[in-house]
Amino acid sequence: MFTMNVIMLHGGAGSTGVEQKLMEYAVKSKSGSALDSVCNAVVLMENDPCFNAGTGSCMRLDGSIQMDAAVMTSKGFGSVMAIENVKNPVLVARAVMERSPHLIMAGDGAEKFAHLLGFEKYDPSTERAAKRRENDISMILSRKIDSYNKMMETVDISKFVDTVGAVARVNGEFAAAVSTGGAPPMLRGRVGDSPVPGAGIFCGENGAVVATGVGEEIIKNMLCISIYNEIGRESLSKIVMKNISRFRYHAGVIAVSNEEYFAYSNTDMSYAALEF
- Whether 73 has a binding-site annotation, put simply, is no
CA distances from 95 to 70, 105, 187, 196 (A): 10, 10, 27, 16
- Whether 191 has a binding-site annotation, put simply, is yes
Element (H, E) at 250: none
166 DSSP β-pair partners: 9, 177
68 phi/psi in degrees, rounded to 5: -120, 145
Answer for the pair 58, 65: CB distance below 8 angstroms, yes or no: yes
163 is catalytic: yes
- Whether 212 has a binding-site annotation, put simply, is yes
- 176 closest CA partner among 155, 205, 153, 148: 205
Answer for the pair 147, 181: CB distance below 8 angstroms, yes or no: no
- Whether 200 has a binding-site annotation, put simply, is no
CA angle 57, 252, 158 (to 5 degrees): 60
Q: What is the C-alpha separation between 264 and 266, in angstroms, rounded?
A: 7
Strands 201-204 and 207-213: antiparallel
- Whether 167 has a binding-site annotation, put simply, is no
- Whether 192 has a binding-site annotation, put simply, is yes
DSSP codes of every residue in 40-53: HHHHHHHT-TTSSS
The active-site residue, picked from 73, 163, 180, 267, is: 163
Q: Which segments are annotated as binding site for substrate?
A: 190-193, 212-215
Q: Which segments are annotated as binding site?
A: 190-193, 212-215
Question: Catalytic residue numbers?
Answer: 163
